[in-house]
Amino acid sequence: MVLCFRTAHQEEKNKIIELWQHCFADPPAFADWYFTNYYQPQNTMIVEENGQILSALQLIPYTILLRGKPFSINYLVGMGTWEYARNRGLAKQLLTYSLAKMVTDRKEYYTMLLPAIPPFYAKMGWAYGYDLQQYAVPANPAPPVPYQKMTAAAGKKEIVFFADLYRQFCASYHGYTIRDNRNWQAILQDLSLENGHILFSAKAYLFYTKKEGGITITDCAFTSQTEFAFLLQKAKEEGSLSSFSSAIALPQLPTLEKPQPFMMGRVASVPFVLQSLSYAHHENGQIIWRIKDPLCPQNEQPYWMDIQYGKVQIKVIKNQACHCLGPTVTTIAENAIPLREQITIDTDIASFTALLLGYRSIQQLQQEGKIKGEKSVLAYAGQLFPPCQNYIHDYF
């Protein structure tokens, strides 16, 4: 039978729900909430054979900040295949199809996911971009501050306050989601589903749920670690809370273990990403990028990146018309580029993504044997893409 790759139809929602429930051990209340608040057929990619949906995934639109610029991206969630259809390579094929649809139809050139099977996604070109650190709740009392407690039924005034504090909190970080009102409504609805509560002061907020196993922090932001520490202790008074996880460094709090990587990203269109960034404060220079990509052949074309006086040109090194995915990219003959070998960088799409995210430096990638090039061109790439302190707290 011939496999058909396409977006889902409106009337297929129940079939997608059945597949989701088959693949994931989510409580029914969560599945109901998710498919009420997030599911859209146009965001759902499927593999069909003989009229039967074998595999599906969903691309949830988000905006994140990359190198100082907002990027329209998606979270890839719900990648699942019926058990009887597994071990046929459907996941890889569906990912290939979805990446192409992202670029050509959706104009999304970057994707993220919380991996259930990290080695599989690493093999497909995804790279870690964030670390999760486990912190101990301070044993010593923090200075008390005025605070309030409320349920998840926050009003417009409170949402504006949380959103403003979140923006201030994220200002020092990179790779975070730029939340809009839809995102805040979904966060609060999820918290309400879990019968969660909110503690907040003038310079900190903390969303948490309380179950038999103890307190779980679901979201937080602050501009004062002292006020945040006080809210942690107030939450601890309501149940067992000895530690919590965060994707940022909190020097005033004791750590419990080494940070663990937990969120992966992937560039879908190399030329568009390179063309979209700002180079206003960088020196003139040139790089030829030769990137290996197991899913997107268009990314394997060599791209010549020329930065002059803060402006960038991206050209594919080719002597025929370019139909690469992404923006219009003109061509340039290989012999028209002087000193080609001296300005060429060889790497893979996962390493390129880690460099873009600032999760890995040029030096680290060199030591790991994942990037090659002349010393001068690697140093220039390191100036363009220095390491960053990344933060994220949105998982679907």
Q: How confident is the model over 303-352, as pLDDT tens digits?
A: 999 999 999 999 998 754 444 444 557 788 877 787 788 999 999 999 99
The whole-angstrom distance between residue 272's C-alpha and the CA centroid of its chain comes to 17
Q: How confident is the model at residue 103 (pLDDT cuts 50, 70, 90)?
A: very high
Predicted confidence at residue 254, as pLDDT, reads 80
Which CATH number among 3.40.630.30, 3.40.640.10, 3.10.20.600, 3.40.50.150 corresponds to the domain 138-241? 3.40.630.30
Domain assignments of the chain as residue spans, ordered by start: 4-57+78-101, 138-241, 267-384
Mean pLDDT estimate for the chain: 91
Lowest mean pLDDT among 43-47, 67-71, 239-243: 239-243
Q: How confident is the model over 144-200, as pLDDT tens digits?
A: 999 999 998 888 999 999 999 999 999 999 999 999 998 999 899 889 988 899 999
**pLDDT higher than threshold 80 for residue 248:** no
Q: What is the DSSP letter of 106?
A: I
**What's the average model confidence in pLDDT over 74-92?**
96
Task: For residue 303, give the 3-state DSSP assignment.
Answer: strand
Predicted confidence at residue 385, as pLDDT, reads 97
Q: How confident is the model at residue 212 (pLDDT cuts 50, 70, 90)?
A: confident
**Higher-scoring residue by pLDDT: 351, 36:** 351
**pLDDT higher than threshold 90 for residue 245:** no
CA distances, 104 to each of 107, 215, 275, 297, 342 (Å): 6, 44, 16, 14, 33
Q: Of the candidates 246, 251, 225, 206, which has an alpha carbon nearest to the alpha carbon of residue 143?
A: 225
Question: 68: Cβ–Cβ under 8 A, 6 or more apart, which residues?
Answer: 277, 278
**In angstroms, rounded to a whole number, what is the distance separating the alpha carbons of residues 208 and 215?**
7
Query: At residue 251, what are phi and psi to the nearest 5 degrees?
Result: -60, -20
Q: How confident is the model over 104-128, as pLDDT tens digits?
A: 999 999 999 999 999 999 999 999 9
Tell me if 138-241 shares its fold with 267-384: no
Predicted confidence at residue 338, as pLDDT, reads 77
**CA contacts within 13 A on the Cβ side of 362:** 17
Could you tell me the fold of the domain covering 267-384? Answer: Nonspecific Lipid-transfer Protein; Chain A (3.30.1050)
Q: Thinking of the domain 4-57+78-101, which architecture would CATH place it in? A: 3-Layer(aba) Sandwich (3.40)
**pLDDT higher than threshold 80 for residue 253:** no
Instruction: Please give the span between the terminal C-alpha atoms of the chain, in angstroms, as a whole number.
Output: 34
Predicted confidence at residue 321, as pLDDT, reads 44
188 close to 33: Cβ distance less than 8 angstroms: no
**What's the average model confidence in pLDDT over 218-231?**
93
**What's the average model confidence in pLDDT over 360-383?**
97
**pLDDT higher than threshold 60 for residue 257:** yes
Residue ranges with strand state E in 82-147: 110-113, 127-136
Q: How confident is the model over 259-313, as pLDDT tens digits?
A: 899 999 999 999 999 999 999 889 999 999 999 999 999 999 999 999 999 999 9
**Higher-scoring residue by pLDDT: 27, 173:** 173
**What's the average model confidence in pLDDT over 237-265?**
82
Above pLDDT 90, what percent of the chain?
72
Q: How confident is the model over 48-65, as pLDDT tens digits?
A: 999 999 999 999 999 999
**In angstroms, rounded to a whole number, what is the distance separating the alpha carbons of residues 19 and 30?**
15
**In angstroms, rounded to a whole number, what is the distance separating the alpha carbons of residues 305 and 284?**
11
